[in-house]
Amino acid sequence: MPSETFRTHSEEETIALGRALGVRLRGIVLLIGNLGAGKTTLTKGIVEGQGAAPADAVSSPTFTLVHQYGEDVFHVDLYRLDETREVETLGLNDLFDSGSLVILEWAERFPELMPAERTEIRIRTLADDSREIVVLAS
Ligand code: ADP
Ligand code: MG
């Protein structure tokens, strides 16, 4: 699996990295990391990099579960769902098949629902509050 590792030292740097990644990301992207790691922050940059919306317009879909930006960028947060059948009601498969960019937080909790072909971005908080961000393409 090809991987790239980055390190960011502020929210702004994480958004800038997201912007750079967002230019080229396609398909299904799993953002993996603890609460507060920076998954939503990175998404702000990715959405902007895709040209779908400005970073400031991106907010966490924690309660609404799915946000759409432009025609075909989707941001999904599965944090509040506990059961596979709840996730199934979201119609993720249709999204996955649509050719849209689908960015998901907490999707690793439902591995059986995720396609094998995907990009994983793993975010880890380091001691000095910087972030290690590893991008793994399938
Ligand atoms: P998640 O979606 O993973 O729960 P958020 O992106 O919502 O996390 O929140 C990340 C928080 O961490 C924000 O309050 C942000 O300001 C802060 N932060 C501090 N340093 C960084 C950094 N290097 N990268 C991203 N966020 C950072
Ligand atoms: Mg989040």
pLDDT (tens, 9 = 90+) of the chain, 138 residues, equals: 789 999 999 999 999 999 999 999 999 999 999 999 999 999 999 999 999 999 999 999 988 899 999 999 999 999 999 999 999 999 999 999 999 999 999 999 999 999 999 999 999 999 998 999 999 998
CA 134 to chain centre: 13
Ion ligand 2 — residues with CB under 5 Å?
A: 39-40, 60, 105
H-run or E-run covering 67: strand 66-69
pTM (2 decimals)? 0.97
Q: Which two structure tokens, joined as six digits, stand for 56?
A: 């400031």
Amino acid at 138: S
Task: Using the atom order of ligand 1, give the atom closest to the CA of residue 77.
Answer: 2
Distance 14 CA to ligand 2 centre (A): 13
In this structure, the dihedral spanned by the alpha carbons of residues 7, 51, 116 and 42, taken in order and rounded to 10 degrees, is 30
Distance 49 CA to ligand 1 centre (A): 18
Q: How far apart are CA 58 and CA 67, in angstroms?
A: 8
